[in-house]
Structure 1
Amino acid sequence: MSKIRVAVVGCGAIAQRRHIPEYETNSHVQLVAFVDPVLERAEVYAAKHGAEAFTDYNEMLAKIKPDAVSVCTPNFLHAPVAIAAAQAGAHVLVEKPMATTDAEAQAMIEAAAASGVYLMVGHNQRLMPPHVKAKEILQTGKLGKVLTFRTSFGHPGPERWSVDGRGSWFFRKNEAIMGAMGDLGVHKSDLIRYLLDDEVAEVSSFIGTLHKDGTDVDDNSTSLLRMNSGAIGTLVASWTYYKGEDNSTVLWCEHGVIKIGTHPEDQVIVELRDGNVEKYAVGAISTNEKQSSSGVIDAFVDSLVTNTPPSISGEEGRRSLNVILAAFESQATGRNVKLS
C-alpha cells in the first residue's frame, strides 16, 4: 500500500511535540509539506523529511494535494484551514477546540461530508490509558450510577508550552478567541462526555482573567455541569496552577468512587463501599512536562488505512465545543445555560 501523504499546517509546540514526532514513527505516513507563517520553522522539518515548506496553506494544498492534513494553527484558523483542506480532498485532523463557534464546527463537518473525507478532532484525553481503563470499569456496572464528579485541568499557562512563550498567540484574543477554557476546559468537557457516555444538559460558569497580565483571554474557569442522567459535577480549567499541574477526574458513584490521575503510580483507583480497593497502574496521562504518545495520530492514520470513520469525529468535537461555548454564555449572561 502506498504511504499516506500528510501535510502539517502550523509548526508550533503541538506540532513539534505531538503531531510531527508521532507521524515520524508511523510506518504508513510520508510527511510531504509543512506550513507556518514563520517560514524557517516549516523549513526545518521540510529539510528533515525531503518535504516542501510554505507560508500559505492554500498554496500548499494546490501544489502538494496531500492525502491528509493536520491543522495545528491558532484557534481562529482551525475552521478556515480544515474547510480548505477538506474541499481540496484531504482528510483532516484538527486540534482542539475544533472551532471557535458552533457555526464554524457545522461548516467543517459539512465540508468533510461533501468531499467524502474524514474529519477527526484531537481530543487525546479519551485515548489516554487511565481514561480508557476507567471507562472499562464504569461499563462493568460495579460502581453503579455516577452521581457526582469533578474534572480538572490546570497548569502554569502556555508561556511554558508555546514556542513563542509569553508572546504566544494563546494570549491574543483575536487569534485565540478563548483562553484556558478553549485550551484545557474543552479537553475535560470531551472527557466527561466520554467517561459517562452522556451529554451535558446544563452549564453554569464563572470565567475570568485572574492573574495573566496584559491579556483579555480567560486564565481560569469553574463550571457546574448537569448531565442528561441527572449527575452533577464541576469542570475546572486553569492557567495559574503555578505549582503542581492537575489533570485529574474523580467520579462518586452509587457503590463507590473512582479516582483517575490522582496518584503518580496508581493512575486509576477504585474504592468500593464494601471496603474493597482496586489499584491500576496502566500508564500515565500525558502532560506538558512529561510527554507520552497522545494516541491521536495513530488513531487518525488507522482510520485512513482501514477506511473506518474516526471515533473522535467532527460531531463529537462539536458537542464538546458546545459545552465550552455554553460556559462562556453563562458567564456573559449570569444565567444557567441549557444545551439542546
Structure 2
Amino acid sequence: MDKVRVGVIGVGGHGRGRHLIPYTKLPNVEVVAVADVNQRRAEEVGREFKVKYYTDYMEMIERENPDAVSIVTPTGLHAKVAKDVLSKGVHVLVDKPLGANLSEVVDVVRTAKAKGKVLMVGYWSRFSPALKFGAEAMSLGMVGEPYLAYGYLVRRRGIPGSPTFIDKQLSGGRGALLDIGCYILDNLLSLLNFLRPVTVSGATYTKFGRNPEEVKFNWGSWDPSKFELEDYAVGFIRFENGVSMIIEVGWAANVSHVGEVGIYRVLGNKGGLEGRGHEAVTEMTLHSRTSNFLYDTKPVLGNVDMSLEMVRAFIDSITQGKEPPTTGYQSVIIHSIIDAIYESASKGSEVRVTIPEI
C-alpha cells in the first residue's frame, strides 16, 4: 500500500496529542477521519485537520474503510471498541490499558488473532530512551541474574476529576492501579521479558477520594459521596523463576514530593538498574562494581518524541508484517497481575495466577 489510511476514535487531549498529531508527521500515513461522541469536539478537530468527522465510530469504519485506527476512548470502552473495529478487519492501536480487566483483554487479543490483524497497545512510555538503555543493559548481561524489581508511581495530589477516570462505567470500575499502575508493570516487565507471574498479594485503599476537603487540592472536581475507586494500591508479585516485584501506585498520598514521581529498579547479582521519571522513565543509571571499585553509569540520552515513535512502530508493524513492540499478549500478563492484586485485596490473602491460553 502507498499510504496507510488511518482514523482516530476519541480526539480529546491524548487522542489529539499522542495519536492524531504524530500520524500527520508520517509520510506513509493518510489520516482520513476522526470520531468522537462529543459532536462539537469531533467537528472542531475534523475541521482543524481537514478530515471527515463522525460521532459514531462504526459509521466512520463503514464509510471510510480505514486500514487502521487508534482508539483513545475512556478506559471502560477500550475493549468493546477494539473488538468492534477488529471484527471489521481493521488494524488497531488502542490506548493503554487494553481493557478494564483480564477477561476483556483476552477477548480482544483472541479477536485480533482470529482476524489476523495487528493489535498494538499504546504504551508510549515503552519508547523511552532511558528504558531502552535498561533493556540493553539487561540483554548484555550487565545486570546478571535479576531477583527483585520495584516500581513506584505516586502523586502527592492528583486524583483526576474528569468523569472519564472517576465514573465507574467509563473508568472500567477501577482506579489508580488500573489507570497508572499499568505503566509500572509494563515498564518493569519489559525489562524482565514479561516473566509469567505465579502468586500475587496486594491491598487497595481509598483514603482521599471520599473526603470533600481534598477536592481543591487535586485535578478537577468530583462528588466525594460517589467516589467508589481506590486511590492507592500496593502489590507483591512472585514470578516463575524466583524473581519478586513490589509495586506502589497512588493518585494521592502524603509524600514529600510535589506532583507525580516514578521510581523503577531492577536488582541483579552483577548490577542494578534505577530509573526515574513518571509514567515514562526519563533517566536510568546502572550500578555495579569492578574488582576494586563500585561505579555508577549514566548514559547520554537523546530527546525522542515517544508518541511519534509509538505510532511509527504501529504503522511499521502493518507495512512490514512484523509483531508490534507492545503486544496484546504482554497486556494479558499485565492484567493477570492487576486482576490478582484486586482479588487479593478483596480476599485479604495471596492468590495464585493462571495465564489464559490465547
For these two proteins, the number of residue pairs brought into alignment is 328
Deviation at 1:297, TM superposition (A): 1.0
- 1:230 maps to 242
Judged with a 3 Å threshold, the aligned counterparts in structure 2 of structure 1 residues 295 and 153 are, in CA distance, closer, same or farther, namely farther
Out of 265, 276, 286, the residue aligned to residue 295 of structure 2 is 276
Question: How far apart, CA to CA, are the structure 1 residues paired with 2:72 and 2:8?
Answer: 7
Question: How far apart, CA to CA, are the structure 1 residues paired with 2:41 and 2:67?
Answer: 22
Out of 162, 171, 175, the residue aligned to residue 166 of structure 2 is 171
Q: Spell out the pairing of 1:134-213 with structure 2 (5 A cutoff).
A: 134-155=134-155, 156-157=157-158, 159=160, 166-176=161-171, 177-197=173-193, 198-213=195-210
Alpha carbon RMSD of aligned pairs, Å? 2.2
TM-score if structure 2 supplies the norm length?
0.85
Question: How far apart, CA to CA, are the structure 1 residues paired with 2:207 and 2:282?
Answer: 33
Identity %: 28
Deviation at 1:89, TM superposition (A): 1.5
Residue ranges of structure 1 left out of the alignment (5+ in a row): 160-165
Deviation at 1:142, TM superposition (A): 2.5
Question: How far apart, CA to CA, are the structure 2 residues paired with 1:336 and 1:193?
Answer: 20
Whether contact under 8 Å (1:6, 1:69) holds in the other structure is: yes
Deviation at 1:224, TM superposition (A): 1.1
Deviation at 1:327, TM superposition (A): 0.8
Q: Spell out the pairing of 1:1-340 with structure 2 (5 A cutoff).
A: 1-155=1-155, 156-157=157-158, 159=160, 166-176=161-171, 177-197=173-193, 198-213=195-210, 214=224, 215-240=227-252, 243-261=258-276, 267-274=283-290, 275-283=294-302, 293=307, 295-340=309-354
TM-score if structure 1 supplies the norm length?
0.90
Question: How far apart, CA to CA, are the structure 2 residues paired with 1:34 and 1:11?
Answer: 7
Deviation at 1:98, TM superposition (A): 0.5
Whether contact under 8 Å (1:151, 1:249) holds in the other structure is: yes
Deviation at 1:244, TM superposition (A): 3.4
Deviation at 1:266, TM superposition (A): 8.4
Question: How far apart, CA to CA, are the structure 2 residues paired with 1:257 and 1:271?
Answer: 5
Whether contact under 8 Å (1:193, 1:199) holds in the other structure is: no
Judged with a 3 Å threshold, the aligned counterparts in structure 2 of structure 1 residues 294 and 131 are, in CA distance, closer, same or farther, namely farther
Deviations along 1:289-320, one digit per CA (max 9) or x if unpaired, are xx853632111011112121213221112211
Deviations along 1:133-180, one digit per CA (max 9) or x if unpaired, are 101101221222112221122234363xxxxxx233101112102111
Whether contact under 8 Å (2:158, 2:252) holds in the other structure is: yes
Residue ranges of structure 2 left out of the alignment (5+ in a row): 211-223
Please give the secondary structure, in 2, of the residue aligned with 1:293: helix
Whether contact under 8 Å (2:36, 2:56) holds in the other structure is: yes
